[in-house]
Structure 1
């Protein structure tokens, strides 16, 4: 018998001063058995940090032609391909070709990820944004992750302030570009 996904619910309060986005919403995220808690937490943070009308989680592990998070306009056209983790260059290339913009959020070593993409073809690679967090930030969030979560996230001047289930964490949001 196959193991099913674990559902996580987040009551989110978002204050993104850098983008002028303020919102309160409930977010439900299914964690596939093969998905680590660090990947799930990064996926939830990517959703929050890219929050706009038309945002949704992608089809997940079972849907290879969709990213972890995506944004569609009112016509259904894909406007943002938001990948999580350590996708290979071919996947990032395909995503960048599919949408107006492509972003990758990683909980891994950003420099190693950039090195793995070096010399590979990535459509509009100069426009691609890779974002990462301070070491230990995602691990700290995972340590207090529950099935039902209260999450307050603020971003100002590139700094993140996360309150998750009563614990407070902070990190810089690092932005990396292909060389």
Structure 2
């Protein structure tokens, strides 16, 4: 955790009809001083989409050798590596070499589209790589230091509910 990080506590109630996964997770997440509220909320969304007993939210922006989230097997090998934003080729190559599956979630359409147009062809050589764009207008309004969030996932669409409002998140598969 970086000095000056803000600690957020999240109670995340997940009802994922697509995976038949129903669980409540108590999450403590550090928000790096340079991390936006939108990006922190996207880390929570990525967690909800892949929630399991072994999925871990890592240091995020402050962890250079770690993704935003990962899931390791019981032997310590990385099964799933999840990053957010516009990942550079060197980082993606390293992630694909270390993990069985790599997923990059983008969330700022203008910047992400330019990144994908510039790098998408190069990234095609990575066979264990997936890129998805998350459309989540207004998600930052749900951010607080203490959050109680309910997530419903059905047909790839995620509905996020809190006392501060509701947000629907759709996924667009890019690769």
Residue in structure 2 matched with residue 52 of structure 1 by the alignment: 52
1:25-73 per-position Cα deviation (integer Å, ceiling 9, x unaligned): 1111100101111111111111111112311122333321110100011
Normalised TM-score (structure 2): 0.89
Residue in structure 2 matched with residue 174 of structure 1 by the alignment: 172
Displacement after TM superposition at 1:123 (Å): 5.2
SS of alignment partner, residue 144 of structure 2 = coil
Residue in structure 1 matched with residue 87 of structure 2 by the alignment: 87
Structure-to-structure mapping, 1:21-40, within 5 angstroms: 21-40=21-40
Distance 2:160 2:123 in 1: 35
**Mapped contact 1:89–1:122 kept (Cα < 8 A):** no
Normalised TM-score (structure 1): 0.87
Distance 2:123 2:166 in 1: 40
**Mapped contact 1:14–1:48 kept (Cα < 8 A):** yes
Residue in structure 2 matched with residue 62 of structure 1 by the alignment: 62
1:72-118 per-position Cα deviation (integer Å, ceiling 9, x unaligned): 11111111110011111221221111111011111122432321313
**Mapped contact 2:81–2:102 kept (Cα < 8 A):** yes
Structure-to-structure mapping, 1:1-40, within 5 angstroms: 4-40=4-40
**Mapped contact 2:141–2:164 kept (Cα < 8 A):** no
Unaligned runs of 5+ in 1: none
Which of these residues, 109, 116, 119, is aligned with residue 118 of structure 2?
Answer: 116
Distance 2:35 2:67 in 1: 14
Structure-to-structure mapping, 1:154-169, within 5 angstroms: 154-169=152-167
Displacement after TM superposition at 1:120 (Å): 2.5
SS of alignment partner, residue 122 of structure 2 = coil
Output the aligned Cα RMSD. 1.9
Aligned residues: 172
Displacement after TM superposition at 1:141 (Å): 2.0
Work out whether 1:150 is the aligned partner of 2:152: no
